[in-house]
Chains A and B, each alone.
Chain A
Amino acid sequence: MKKILMATVLFGSIWGFLECSVGDWLHGYDLSVLMAVMAIFLMAYTRRVYNQPGMQAGMALVAALLRHFNPMGACLICASIAIFVEGVAFEIIWALPWRNYKSYAMKAGMGIISFYAIYTVGYIATQILTPLLTAKFYWSDLTGVMPKILSHATIAGVIGAFALPAAYASLDVSIKDRLYYPVAAVITALCWIAVIAGI
């Protein structure tokens, strides 16, 4: 359990760091969907390696916290909400029994469904929760933005068709316990320092 907790903090910190660096850069080019794809891949990969339900929601919480503490960058509250909701959506989809099927068709199909759905749910959540927390929510704003969300979600879905099978086929990297904790702690600390320092 200690190892899983460490991994949750480590991968959550890496995710948060990527959101604050690559994510902001991609957002500038209206390509936030690619950041979401990376995050979902990271969740899928860590779920396969650690096989611990709840871990990915924990990673999302860590990443959302890190995103929130970032002194620079775009829309801190929107991004934090989206990250956490993506983690919860992942847990819900991964609670379904689809992993009992080993075929490529199932993995590719679920890749499309999960990447598409997780991106869509995260985006919709920010569109609803952000105005509720900061201003006023209008349904017409959400309906207006839905075609754009679904359009971008298609990119996530298509990538997911390859990314999910890849996450389940990736090679494992093993590291001795003696090194695991110090390396994980150093990487985690570097991620947090980089983000808080605004690097």
Chain B
Amino acid sequence: MEKAEKIVVVVAILLLSVGVASSYYVNQIEKENKELAEGNIILVGDTEINLDELFEKYEVKNVETTKGNFTGISLSALINETNIEEKDAHDYTVVGSDGYKQTVSWEDMKKGIITEEKKTVFPHLPGKFWVKDIVKIEVS
């Protein structure tokens, strides 16, 4: 095997090792978030919000998107359940059970919804901002 071939094989093994380590990390994150994910609970800042109770309390909203129509509760209603003050002064990082996270503004939160499947839908933002299996919303 020539030197160039050896380098390629080593780099390939290195990349796969990083990938396997990342898979293990994602798996650990999912295990950590399992309780929240199964309990239908979302942690917003320090407040635990029960999604079932939220859907009983608020009117369901319908939003049209390029991916179809979705129904859910307004994300601003979810935030209103907490004691966060000056809501428009904060950014909101929506975190999924696999660690995927996206940060949006208060204006975005007002337009977005959370569905019964614990997925955020922002009709005005590209799909990359949508997060599945939400477990928490970090407020900064």
Contacts and interface: CB of A to CB of B under 8 A. Distances in A.
B4 A98 contact: yes
B8 A140 contact: no
Interface of A is mostly: helix
A135 B23 contact: no
B83 interface: no
Contacts of B20: 154
A147 B128 contact: no
Interface in A59-88: 71-78
A121 interface: no
Nearest to B138: A140
B23 A154 contact: yes
A103 B99 contact: no
Contacts of A113: 8, 11-12, 15
A30 B22 CA distance: 16
Interface in B85-106: 91, 93, 95, 98-105
Interface in A146-189: 146-151, 153-154, 157-158, 161
B116 interface: no
A191 interface: no
A154 B67 contact: no
Contact of B19 (A127, A130, A157): A157
Contact of A151 (B9, B19, B104): B19
Nearest to B11: A113
B1 A103 contact: yes
B125 A135 contact: yes
A74 B67 CA distance: 6
Interface in B1-46: 1-2, 4-5, 8-9, 11-12, 15-16, 18-20, 22-23, 25-26, 29
B67 A141 contact: no
Contacts of B98: 148
Interface of A: 30, 71-78, 98, 101, 103, 105-106, 108-110, 112-113, 116-117, 126-127, 130-131, 134-136, 138, 140-141, 144-151, 153-154, 157-158, 161
Interface of B: 1-2, 4-5, 8-9, 11-12, 15-16, 18-20, 22-23, 25-26, 29, 66-67, 91, 93, 95, 98-105, 108, 125-129, 132
Given A112-B16, A136-B105, A161-B12, 17 more contacts: A30-B132, A101-B2, A101-B5, A103-B5, A108-B12, A109-B12, A116-B16, A134-B125, A138-B91, A140-B93, A140-B101, A144-B95, A144-B100, A147-B22, A147-B25, A154-B22, A158-B16
